[in-house]
Structure 1
């Protein structure tokens, strides 16, 4: 079978629509950067770093720390859930079962975030289905407070970001050569040892890449922290929203947005470096 390769000009032509789609985002980032350096809060006028200096407060520091902490914990939980799901999805032989599991995993991306958040509220609220069931079973006397705190936000982040990790890992699992697995099995390795010593090392680039996507998604989350955490869980997305309304501090919100963008880019750059390192080690 012959393969065709594209020249650099043809590749650029094919990628042109994608660049056009990304261009408004890049322009918006430049606009946000300029607004963050404005000397005035409501309009772009002059040059000043006052907006960044005003963010150097314990409140905003706690917001940054809370964002990084919840995004990291949610990413770890998601990765522990995504790997078994990816192996299960690739091992299913029946097309109906495979499609059913695929749709189930995709539901967080299909359903509106508001619908998902209100579903969590109906399930975890003080008078929700979970507390009602536990009370009826006599397991609790008072309702468990699982909403408007870090627990509720963490559950929402894990649920909404799980598909972002599963499908990249599924592609990597399908790319594992059966010859490696058969060779390990013929040498007497158990299934768990094959998973630990063969499959997972081959999946390292995909695992790092999926984890970076999930972390970036969770760090920039807004709807889930706002609806499931309220004002009590001040992640950066919620803090930026409060700066815009009711404070109308546009330059401060722009500065906070730039800090969030830089933190996300830093994580993506580090993950790309880790993918490159793990790829070299795997090939070696």
Structure 2
């Protein structure tokens, strides 16, 4: 009786969140319906022509570029997030911990446009980096780090880093000191303890954080558009071009459904991987 009552209370508390999700689910259904419309500009009839029209080398390259950049940015973000998570949990001073937390959160606090223009000022041909390198006599001509995949990668890593850090922080705080002390008492080195004990215990948090970061990067729009221009056609930019100036609404909806399906596939795979790794860790 008490368990059922507790579930009902949790459902009541979760009701506002569920209601907030409903418009998104409705939008997804509307996008799907538009993607199988027989008309490019309105919902009229049924057709899979919008999907067939996407079977081109250009769109295939957009999908490949999206997966490649999202994957590389996710790996880089995770490599930086793990030591940051350990540093954040090891700080004893509340003030130092707050300062580091705010610093990590800055990409989520600042507007993406402000961050993108900050990268432009830093990486542009006459930006801070090129001016400093030329002033030191290291280069004669500016290094082109904008409107290519390098600039987009830097922007994706910086904006997605907070999404990688804080899930891992929760896992680090849940580490069992008994396992670490037992490994140390058996003579294991610090590196051996980290790779054989700490990493397996953190694996569910790492995989979960990586799936969130990948989904965020794969659906990115502002960063690829501003730092990559027309030269880096990630799916977000390609969908925007289909809407304007092409006004191909059904094609954009079909591309959006492909992006949603790709993201959901990655999330389902990561959930399965977390479940498997958790069972292995418990075993």
Structure 1 consecutive aligned stretches of length 4 or more whose deviation exceeds 3 Å: none
* SS of 2:37 mapped into structure 1: coil
Q: 1:89-238, aligned counterparts within 5 Å?
A: 89-238=88-237
Gap runs ≥5 in structure 2: none
Moved more, 138-147 or 8-17: 8-17
Deviation at 1:6, TM superposition (A): 5.7
CA-atom RMSD in angstroms: 1.2
Question: In 2, distance between residues paired with 1:16 and 1:54?
Answer: 41
Measured against aligned partners, the alpha-carbon deviations of 1:176-200 in whole angstroms (never above 9, x if no partner) come to: 0111111111112222111111111
Deviation at 1:5, TM superposition (A): 8.8
Question: In 2, distance between residues paired with 1:199 and 1:41?
Answer: 53
Question: In 1, distance between residues paired with 2:81 and 2:245?
Answer: 39
Question: In 1, distance between residues paired with 2:199 and 2:7?
Answer: 35
Question: Which position in structure 1 is the counterpart of 2:52?
Answer: 53
Question: Which position in structure 2 is the counterpart of 1:75?
Answer: 74
TM-score, normalised via structure 2 length? 0.98
Measured against aligned partners, the alpha-carbon deviations of 1:137-179 in whole angstroms (never above 9, x if no partner) come to: 0000100000000000000000000000100000000000111
Question: In 2, distance between residues paired with 1:188 and 1:134?
Answer: 48
Question: In 2, distance between residues paired with 1:214 and 1:254?
Answer: 23
Question: In 1, distance between residues paired with 2:112 and 2:178?
Answer: 42
TM-score, normalised via structure 1 length? 0.97
Measured against aligned partners, the alpha-carbon deviations of 1:102-137 in whole angstroms (never above 9, x if no partner) come to: 111000000000000000000000000000000000
Change (3 A) 1:63 1:6: farther
Moved more, 172-181 or 115-124: 172-181
> When the two structures are aligned, how many residues end up with a matched partner?
282
Question: In 2, distance between residues paired with 1:112 and 1:182?
Answer: 44
Gap runs ≥5 in structure 1: none
Question: In 2, distance between residues paired with 1:237 and 1:130?
Answer: 28
